[in-house]
Structures are given as C-alpha cells and as structure tokens.
Structure 1
Amino acid sequence: MGGQADRRAEHEQAAVTVDLVILTIRSDELHVLLIERGKEPFAGMPALPGGYVRIGEPLDDAARRELVEETGVDDHRLHLEQLRSYGDPQRDPRGRVVTVAYLALRPDLPVPKAGTDASAAAWIPVEEALAEADSLAFDHGLILQDALEKARTKLEYTTVATAFCVEPFTVSELRRVYEAVWGVALDPSNFRRKVTRAEDFLEATGERRTLDTGRPAALYRRGGAELLAPPLHRPEHASRGRLPAF
C-alpha cells in the first residue's frame, strides 16, 4: 500500500485550460484578439482569451464558451482548430496548469465586449502584438507566435485562407488575405493564375462585382478542396517569425 501511495504522490495534479488565438482581417491588416486580465495573476496585463475547462466539458466546447464569456463574440462559423498544448511547470504561478491552445479564423469579426475575467477586449494589429509579445501574460507571447506560424503555413498547403473571406469574394480580396497573413506584397497576375488553377480551390459564381475603377471583377466561393494542389508557397522574403514592416 505504501508503495502505491508513493507512486500516486509522484503524479502532480494538473488543471486544464484553453487559450484562443483569434485572427481576423480588418482594413486589410491582420489582427489578433487580446483581453486585459481583470484578475490575478497578471491583472491588468494583455492576454489571449481563455480559461479553465469545466468537469465533463469537451475541449472544443470549453474554447467556444470562453470565447463568448470573455469577449462576447458568439460565432459558430469560426474556423476553430487545436494548435497544440503547453505544459511548462512554471507557466502559471497558481500551480501546474496545462493549456490547450486553439487557432480561430474568421473575416471581419465584430468589436468584442469584455466579460467575466476580462476587464477589456480589443482587436490588436498582429505586428503590434508581436512587438510586445514578451509583455503578454503567462506564455501567451509564445502561443501567439506559434499560432501565427501555423496560420501562415496552413495558407501554403490548405484552402483555409477562404475562412477570412466573406462569400462571394474576388481574387483580389483573397490575395489581400495572403498578403496580410504572410506580411508581403504578391504579384496580382501570378497569384490569380495560381489560385484559379489550383484543384477545386475556388468555385466561380458566374457573377461579377462592379468596382470603382477597372472592369467588373469575377466573384468566387470556396470550392470543395481542403488541401491546395499544387501548394502555394510563401516567397522567400515572406514572414517566418515576426511580421516585417510594410
């Protein structure tokens, strides 16, 4: 019995939380949702929205609940996926806390409203947030950087860029998504050729939108593909790490 008790004592009890990196594009610039913590630890510091997982609660449900409780954003059309887990023993001064981070994408999300543990919530340009990554609560600076790199890579190999677009959209609007996320200007003609030739990436609606200048632009919706074939690789000088200044 004593040996069994000793073995149990070796296994530290850990709490589980979820943290969300929510990205949207506002005025052709990539933004991340940050809150101001209303409670200790790190009261008054910027942080990613998130919180504890309740007993019996699935992780995805916890992520969506925390999204509503801390920001007032209730949008089940969000592209939401697990990023990875973070379990450094020193990441939370309250004790051993393992967090499961989520990456969420959606076009032009509304102005958030803070609630529960958050005293404020706002969309922050990613470039600004990365410049202050070391000042984010917990290890949220690291989580943010990991999520951004994941989003940039997913744009190369999957069709997730359309999650930032309101359908129907133009190729130019899709190109601005890539430019905002990758932090680099792309050649319009080359981009159009690649995305329209990619297998089942875009589906033409047969309609056009009148623009202020030039010819009316063809409108598209997302096709059925989830993977890009062929991939759309980032230029060599595109963002890998911190976003460069435009």
Structure 2
Amino acid sequence: MIELLGVRKDHSAEVSIGPVDLRIPAGGVTALVGPNGAGKSTLLTLVGRLLGADAGAVVVGGHDVSRTPSAELAKVVSILRQENHFVTRLTVRQLVAFGRYPHSRGRLTRADEEVVSRSIDFLDLGELEHRYLDQLSGGQRQRAYVAMVLSQETEYLLLDEPLNNLDVKHSVQMMKHLRRAADELGRTVVVVLHDINFAGRYADRICAVKDGRVVEFGTPAEILTGDVLTRVFDTPVTCLEGPHGPIAVYH
C-alpha cells in the first residue's frame, strides 16, 4: 500500500500541494489524472522521494520514505520521470542494466543479467537490445526506459506520463505492457496520464487531482461520469457507455 498522510509541499506562497490524505492499495494500476498544473507529477515525485514533503508522511510498502535509507528504498519503489530521459551512446541492454544498480552496485552477476534479459523480453525489445538509444524511435526508446525501471524489480513502479509524445498505437502498446506488469508480475503501478480514456480502459483505480488536492478517488466506473469529469477539468464532459466501459466525450 502507498499512504500519504497529511502531505504538503509548498512551492511558493501562491502554489502548494496538499494537504493530501491518500491510500493506494497494493497491486493493479492506479492512474493519476487532472488538469495541467494540478500537482499529479509532484505527488508522484513525493512518493518516490525525489521531492521531500514539507509536512506529513509518505509510506510505501510499510517504509516511511523520509526515513528509509536510499539503498533500501530503491529496492521497494522505482520511478521514471519525463525529465530523466536522455539519449546517449548507450545500447538498450546497457540502459536496462542500470536498473540493477541497487542490487549489483555496478557489478552485474549472472542473476542480474538474467533479470535484464527478462525485462528486455517483457517489453518486446529483444531484437533491439544491442541498438543504441539514438537509433530508436520514440516509442522504442520509451519502452527501453520502462524496461530499465522494471529490471529494478521493485514492487512499486511509478511512471510520469509514459505516453508523452507517443501516437495512439504506441500508447496502447505501452498501457498493455503496464497492465501486464501488474497482472503477471504482481507490480503496483502508479501512472500519471493526460488521457482520461486510457485511464478508464487500463486502470483499476483513478485518482483525480485538482489545485494540489485529491478531489476524487475510485474505480473507472465511479470517476468516468459527466458530473465528476466536468467538475475536475472545468469543461463540459459527457460519458457514453463503450464496449470496455464508459468513454469521456468533451464538448
């Protein structure tokens, strides 16, 4: 379970996050949605301890993130931020191997290499593992970064807008990979998404954030209603029943 207990982060006198009280159950996929600037990415980075809270506590899998040693926390939770992406003369396999650092400290064992291979195969990157990152398409490179955090073998996997700059086809493929990570590998996946319909299709739970606060939390059926989405996004929304659940239509 991920727990945020009275968490607050003050960026300035005018901009702040919280206080937030939130409990995300272990397992499955939870999507963070909301308007631009709502605080979704900030909440994610607070959970991953890339930012420190000014008040309250963040507990991940029973570990208070402010008190847990970094080496131990890196075996519990992994995070992929948009800003962390870089293109350099690394191969896919070399990049994915970075995910093993909390375990190997840079000295890869045969067991580490096996984890790297499984992560590469899980993201369907086997044919690309010896290609350099700057030789890949945007979608292939995005999968390589997800494979890197997957190889860290943490129970909790945090991803900040992994669909950014992906077309519809590659966005669908990415969400299917994340869904499989939850279902087949037992990971707890928390993902920031802009597209509410992707959240409705692939997530078990949706957390709606607005003005630095959690304003709604529930199943896709509970969140994808015209009343809720109109209130969250400040624009008229109608939800229609689709083959896989409700679909949001913006006016």
| Shared fold per TM-score greater than 0.5 | no
Greater CA radius of gyration, 1 or 2? 1
TM-score in terms of structure 2 length: 0.29
